[in-house]
């Protein structure tokens, strides 16, 4: 289970996400990737190896969007390859996903999705979950009361056995992230005109010290100006906003060569 960083706001997402991923490197990982939404398109870069490899790759690309997400992977399903790195994109191009954890019932879901015409480019359990969200999203009618994006993620997760910390983006929901957890930590960062999510507070504390610790079985919907949390069964959750009492400089070397 490795690193997750997501951002929606007014700044360029990619540099903030890459900075967050670097702060999570200490956890160990084998690949890294980033997805950014811009002008009705997802741009995805992912590489086996260090975040520095990913940075080299993204330096050659124009990643100009204000919403995005990044991941450092520790492979559980499928080898350490660029194709298996996250983010994954659903085969209809509508849903992008990063995931920490293990989807235990991915085989039966994959068989079902193949009968529905979904295709797979990786060996991961995560890509199966990504396509299952896309399947539910395509079926979900527009509902004036609540985002169909959130509803589709909740419906999908009711079928999942295993552990997950996920961040999801939808092509036609710019400036929105949906994030959920079961057995894998996630923290929301509530900033000034921006919202963040990460698997570890160190990835977001340089932008905000107001955080919400997501609980197992909760799904959060983030936009630059707002956030809301529901349970998997659509129950409302009243979030508690905590203040982190340390600053990012407390987690840096400050001239020393080692932390110890
Ligand atoms: N099971 C997923 C994979 O193998 C996620 C691994 C992780 O937690 O980084 O890609």
Q: Which atom of ligand 1 is nearest to the CA of 126?
A: 2
Kindly indicate the confidence band of residue 88, based on its pLDDT and cuts at 50, 70 and 90. very high
The model's pLDDT over 123-152, given as tens digits with 9 standing for 90+, comes to 999 999 999 999 999 999 987 788 999 999
Q: Are 9 and 180 in contact (CB under 8 A)?
A: no
CB 230 within 8 A of CB 218: yes
The label of the residue with tokens 């961040």 reads 167
Ligand 1 mean position, distance from CA 150 (Å) = 22
Give tens-digit pLDDT for 21-31: 999 999 899 99
> Among residues of the chain, what percentage have pLDDT more than 90?
89
pLDDT, tens digit (0-9, with 9 covering 90-100), for 163-192:
999 999 999 999 999 999 999 999 999 999
Torsion of CA 53, 175, 116, 91, to 10 degrees: -30
d(C-alpha 34, C-alpha 71), whole Å: 6
Total residues found in the chain within this entry: 260
Joined tokens for residue 147: 């985002």
Mutate to test the pocket of ligand 1, among 99, 120, 165, 166 (most ligand atoms within 8 A of CB): 99
Task: Catalogue all structural domains in the chain, each as residue range(s) with its CATH number.
Answer: 3-75+82-248 (3.60.20.10)
Chain centre distance of CA 79: 21
- What is the pTM (predicted TM-score) of this model? 0.95
pLDDT of residue 145: 80
Question: Tens of pLDDT along 210-252?
Answer: 999 999 999 999 999 999 999 999 999 999 999 998 776 666 6
Whole-angstrom Cα distance, residue 187 to residue 215? 9
């Amino acid at each position: 289970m490795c690193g997750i960083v997501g951002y929606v706001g007014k700044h360029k997402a990619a540099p903030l996400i890459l900075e967050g991923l670097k702060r999570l490197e200490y956890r160990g990982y084998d690949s890294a990737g980033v997805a950014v939404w811009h002008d009705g398109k997802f741009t995805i870069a992912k590489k086996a190896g260090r975040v520095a490899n990913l940075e080299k790759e993204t330096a050659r690309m124009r990643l100009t969007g204000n919403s995005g997400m990044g991941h450092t992977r520790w492979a559980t399903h499928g080898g350490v390859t660029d194709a298996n790195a996250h983010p994954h994109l659903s085969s209809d191009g509508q849903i992008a996903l990063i995931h920490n954890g293990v989807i235990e019932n991915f085989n039966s879901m994959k068989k079902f999705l193949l009968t529905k015409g979904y295709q797979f480019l990786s060996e991961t359990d995560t890509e199966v979950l990504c396509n299952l969200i896309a399947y539910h999203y395509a079926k979900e009618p527009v509902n004036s009361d609540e985002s169909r994006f959130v509803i589709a993620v909740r419906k999908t997760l009711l079928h999942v056995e295993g552990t997950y910390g996920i961040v999801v983006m939808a092509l036609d929901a710019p400036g929105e992230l949906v994030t959920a957890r079961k057995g894998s930590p996630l923290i929301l960062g509530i900033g000034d005109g921006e919202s963040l999510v990460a698997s570890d507070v160190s990835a977001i504390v340089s932008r905000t010290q107001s955080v919400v610790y997501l609980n197992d079985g909760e799904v959060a919907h983030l936009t630059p100006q707002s956030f809301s949390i529901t349970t998997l069964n659509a129950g409302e959750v009243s979030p508690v906003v905590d203040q982190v009492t340390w600053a990012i400089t407390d987690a840096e070397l400050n001239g020393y060569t080692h932390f110890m």
